[in-house]
Amino acid sequence: MTAKRRQRPMTTPTDSPTVVYSDALLRRLVVVERGGQLWLCPKRPGGWSSRQRLTMTDAARQQRLRRATDIDAATLGIDAENTPQDAPGIDASGQV
């Protein structure tokens, strides 16, 4: 008898909304949640092109992250419908 492995559904950028957060410790950067992943981006127009993958514990997220009110996804250069989650030039680890 073989056990079937349960496949996790893949999330895509359109499955979950893109949310931009301000980080209480990293004031020059913002945290973007997109497609179930966290990304660290410079807080400037087009900052999405310089993003790095980020991992945070739930406790850190609760303590440090608040929804950003001074910048939005469009300003960062995030196109909600056409931008793939992993842009060319960035490997799976988030390194350029």
- Residues 50, 27: Cα–Cα separation, whole Å: 16
Per domain, the residue ranges of the chain are: 19-76
- Is residue 70 scored above 60 in pLDDT? yes
pLDDT digits (tens, 9 = 90+) for 26-63: 989 999 999 999 999 999 999 999 999 999 999 999 99
Model pTM?
Answer: 0.68
Sign, Cα dihedral of 24, 27, 30, 36: negative
Rounded to whole angstroms, the Cα distance separating 32 from 20 reads 5
* Locus of tokens 């995030």: 78
